[in-house]
Chain A
Amino acid sequence: MTDPELTMNLTVKLFARARDLAGTSHADVTLSNQQTVEEMLSQLVIHYPQLASIRESLLVAVNNEYVPSETVIPANAEVACFPPVSGG
């Protein structure tokens, strides 16, 4: 399962301004196996260049947990991407 030639199609959930800028709540990206959050964000910005302006502030969650940019995205993970939160 670690063959780097294999790719996975990933649907990234977007929220708030990220969703509005991208024009969708579910962004599709194609990743190679063993790619990191940072690489996923690069793919995301290539597909949705409108997100470039907020890329540095985007937070990423994998399976409902915040993850740093070097984290490898596991297969079948639920991935979400959003700007800083402002509840309350």
Chain B
Amino acid sequence: MTVRLTDKPIDYHLVTESVRTPRAGAVVLFLGTVREFTDDQQTTALDYDAYPEMAITKMEELVAEAGEKWPILNAVIEHRVGHLELGEVCVAVAVSSPHRKEAFHAGQFLIDELKVRVPIWKKENWIDGQSEWVHPGEEESVRSNTPSS
């Protein structure tokens, strides 16, 4: 079980290989990628910020919980931080298990819970030059012209 933050492109082939084992009959890989359109708004890039120590702690908790819930053999989460262009991989979750159902369930649990528990944030850079932090549940939508770094 491994979790990591990286400011380099995620090698998802390596992530996938790292959970493979002859004891597994199933390997599930989830990739989150930078999407161009959110409804009618056009994104040009994302910037990810993280609270690294806590993000690692929370991701370690998630893989431990997944291991308690399902008989998985291995799980890896790798999340990118910094500036990402369209189509780049922002997160990779790989899970191996003897049978496919557990790998699918654990993989879905890991990405769903990561999105609500792990202190990582994305900032949308829109095509009109404005940028905006994504903070689910915040009523206020604050746009700024602050150039992204």
Nearest residue, chain A, Cβ from B131: A20
- C-alpha gap A31/B49 in the complex (Å): 28
Chain A contributes a number of interface residues (CB within 8 A of B) equal to 20
How many residues of chain B are within 8 Å of chain A by beta carbon?
35
Quick one: which of B101-138 are within 8 Å of A by CB? 111, 114-123, 133-138
From A19, which residue of chain B is reached at the shortest CB distance?
B49
Contact with B along A61-88 (1 / 0, CB 8 A): 1001000000000000010101111111
Whether A20 pairs with B121 at a CB distance below 8 angstroms is no
Cβ A86 vs Cβ B122 within 8 A: yes
* Number of A-B contacts defined by CB within 8 Å: 88
Are B54 and A61 interface neighbours, CB within 8 A? yes
What 10 pairs between A and B have smallest CB-CB spacing? A87-B120, A16-B121, A83-B135, A86-B134, A17-B133, A64-B54, A88-B115, A64-B57, A84-B135, A57-B138
Additional 17 contacts, C-beta under 8 A, given A17-B135, A80-B119, A83-B138: A15-B51, A15-B121, A20-B133, A54-B135, A57-B137, A57-B138, A61-B119, A64-B53, A64-B58, A84-B135, A84-B138, A85-B117, A85-B136, A86-B121, A87-B48, A87-B114, A88-B90
